[in-house]
Structure 1
Amino acid sequence: MKTTPEHNRRMAEMTFASVYPHYITKVERKGRTQAELHQVIEWLTGFTSQDIENLIDEKVTFKVFFQKARLNPNAHLIKGVICGYRIEDIDNPLTQKVRYLDKLVDELAKGRKMEKILRSAS
C-alpha cells in the first residue's frame, strides 16, 4: 500500500516516548499489564524493559528506535489492518515496522492469547 511521503516522515519523526503512554493506557484499560506490553515489545524489537525505559528517557524517534532494534524474524507474520492500512502491503519499511508494533498492542488490548500475539503457535 502506498503511504504518502508526509505520512512516512511523520512516522519517522514521532518519538516513541510520545506514543508509549497511549500503549500503556490502551492495554491497561483492557485488563492487560505493562509487563505484557514489554513482553510484546521485546519480542518484536529485542529491547528489554530497561532498554525501553532508556529509549523513553532519550526521547528517540521511531526512526532511531527501529534502527536500534533487532526485528524478530517472524515479524513478517504480523498481518491485518491497522489505522486503515493493510500492514503486509505497506511499502515503506519504517512505517511498516511502526504498524507492526501498533498491531501487536491492539492484539494485546483485545485479549488475544500471548502465544498468538508472539506468533509462536503457527
Structure 2
Amino acid sequence: MKKAYDQDERIANMTFTSVYPHYVTKVEKKGRTIAELHQVICWLTGYNEKKLQSFTEEKVTFETFFKNASLNPNAQLITGVICGYRVEEIENPLTQQVRYLDKLVDELAKGRKMEKILRTT
C-alpha cells in the first residue's frame, strides 16, 4: 500500500511543464502534431489553447493542473493499461486523471484515429 501512496504523492508533485516536452516528443516521433496533442489535452481537461499555453510556461504541479480542470464526462470511457496499471481501477482520483492523460497521449502516438481517442464513436 505504501508503494501506491508514494506513487500518488510523486505524481501530485510532478510539474506539467516537466512532462509536456516528453508528450510532444512522443507524438511527433510517431508523425502526429502538437495541435493534435493539444486537442487531446483540451478535450480531457476542458482547457482552451491559451490556458494550456500558460500551463506549459508555468511550473504548476499536476495536482494544480487537474484541480482547475473540468474533466470531460467521457473520461471514464478511457480504459486499458498504462505504466503497468489498469486506468479504470486506479483508486486515487488525481493519479487516475494523470494516467488518463498518459493513455490518451499513448493512443495518439500509436496512430489511433482522433474520433476514437476522443471517445466520440
Q: TM-score range by the shorter chain?
A: over 0.9
Instruction: Give a deviation string over 1:1-42, Cα, whole Å, max 9, x none.
Output: x96111000000000000000000000000000000000001
Counterpart in the other structure of 1:109: 109
TM-score by length of 2: 0.96
Unaligned runs of 5+ in 2: none
With normalisation by structure 1, the TM-score equals: 0.96
Gaps of 5+ in 1: none
Which residue number corresponds to residue 77 of structure 1?
77
Which position in structure 1 is the counterpart of 2:62? 62
Tell me which moved more, 31-40 or 43-52.
43-52
The residue that corresponds to 1:40 in the other structure is: 40
**What is the CA–CA distance in structure 1 between the aligned matches of 2:116 and 2:3, rounded to whole Å?**
28
Q: How does 1:84-99 map to 2 (within 5 A)?
A: 84-99=84-99
- The 8 Å contact of residues 3 and 91 in structure 1, kept in 2 or not, is answered as no
Q: Aligned partners of 2:47, 2:114: CA distance in 1, in Å?
A: 17
Q: Distance in 2 between matches of 1:118 and 1:3?
A: 31
Counterpart of 1:109 in structure 2: which amino acid?
A
What is the CA-CA distance between 1:53 and the residue it aligns to?
1.3
- Secondary structure at the aligned position of 2:70 is classed as coil
The letter for the 2-side match of 1:49 is E
Query: Structure 1 stretches (4+) deviating beyond 3 angstroms?
Result: none
Over residues 60-109 of structure 1, what are the superposed CA-to-partner deviations in whole Å (9 max), with x where a residue is unaligned? 00000001100000000000000000000001000000000000000000
Q: Is the 8 A contact 1:23 1:105 kept in 2?
A: yes
AA of the residue aligned to 1:98: V
CA contact (8 A) 1:15 1:59 kept: yes
In structure 2, distance between residues paired with 1:20 and 1:63: 15
